[in-house]
A and B are shown apart, each in its own frame.
Chain A
Amino acid sequence: GAGVSQSPSNKVTEKGKDVELRCDPISGHTALYWYRQSLGQGLEFLIYFQGNSAPDKSGLPSDRFSAERTGGSVSTLTIQRTQQEDSAVYLCASSQEYTQYFGPGTRLTVL
């Protein structure tokens, strides 16, 4: 079956602009996660969705970051007024039980 997909694969933007990243989880997976991976670093957890429940936003780096999940499926991560330190690969994962399956990521470059 289809794995986790993300779009766009690459995004180059100017400082101060807003960006929207999309994640399509594996069909039937109720849990969805967003992580950020800076160059040469491990993965940093950002936010978690379980079905349609409201997420715990405490892991988001700043109030410029927001995320939503519509209909318990597709999720979007929005970064407002992007800064250079937001440059990273943003990875989405979905799971049904324990195992998290990752998407290919969106490489965000803020100039």
Chain B
Amino acid sequence: GENVEQHPSTLSVQEGDSAVIKCTYSDSASNYFPWYKQELGKRPQLIIDIRSNVGEKKDQRIAVTLNKTAKHFSLHITETQPEDSAVYFCAASESGGGADGLTFGKGTHLIIQP
């Protein structure tokens, strides 16, 4: 089955700086890679996703890059703000989930220092 590794487990950055979170996956058949943000006590919320037919996707301050050859993908947050503080999870799957669901990384606790 799929295995997703996520690094770092904790990331502290100064407000206004950029943050980068990296994930690797094992199953070359995976073709859908979402990123979720989870604030304390809240549900995971999708912030951006990418399919394997593109290498990069951007939405305002958030971007995701995908390297299918190396089987890794990364989340980039620019001009970080206090409200970006949360736990971020990457995930991978074939076709959005199906019978295998999403396979998640263990999460990155992002701390924005004022």
Interface positions of A (Cβ within 8 A of B):
31, 33, 35, 41-46, 48, 50, 56, 59, 91, 95, 97-105
Structural contact, A43 and B43, CB atoms closer than 8 A: no
In whole angstroms, what is the CA distance A91 to B51 when docked? 24
Classify chain B's interface size. Answer: 20 to 34
Structural contact, A43 and B96, CB atoms closer than 8 A: no
Decide yes or no: A33 and B101 within 8 Å by CB, A97-B96, A99-B96, A102-B44 being known contacts: yes
Structural contact, A95 and B44, CB atoms closer than 8 A: no
Nearest Cβ on chain A to B108's Cβ, whole angstroms:
10
In whole angstroms, what is the CA distance A35 to B43 when docked? 12
Contact pick for A33, options B34, B42, B97, CB 8 Å: B97
Structural contact, A59 and B43, CB atoms closer than 8 A: no
Chain B residues whose CB sits within 8 angstroms of the CB of A46 once the complex forms: 101
Asked if B68 is at the interface (CB within 8 A of a chain A CB), the reply is no
In whole angstroms, what is the CA distance A48 to B95 when docked? 14
Shortest Cβ-Cβ A-B pairs, 7 listed: A45-B101, A98-B96, A42-B104, A42-B106, A102-B43, A43-B104, A56-B99
Structural contact, B96 and A42, CB atoms closer than 8 A: no
Chain B residues whose CB sits within 8 angstroms of the CB of A95 once the complex forms: 96-97
Contact pick for B100, options A31, A45, A105, CB 8 Å: A45
Structural contact, B43 and A100, CB atoms closer than 8 A: no
In whole angstroms, what is the CA distance A32 to B104 when docked? 17
Nearest Cβ on chain B to A70's Cβ, whole angstroms:
20
Interface centre among B49, B101, B103 (most CB of A within 10 A): B101
Nearest Cβ on chain B to A5's Cβ, whole angstroms:
11
Decide yes or no: A100 and B99 within 8 Å by CB, A43-B44, A43-B89 being known contacts: no
Chain B residues whose CB sits within 8 angstroms of the CB of A91 once the complex forms: 43-44
Structural contact, B106 and A100, CB atoms closer than 8 A: no
Task: For the A-B complex with A100-B46, A104-B43 known, give 12 more contacts whose Cβ atoms are closer than 8 Å.
Answer: A33-B102, A43-B89, A44-B104, A45-B101, A45-B103, A48-B98, A48-B99, A50-B98, A99-B49, A100-B96, A100-B97, A103-B43
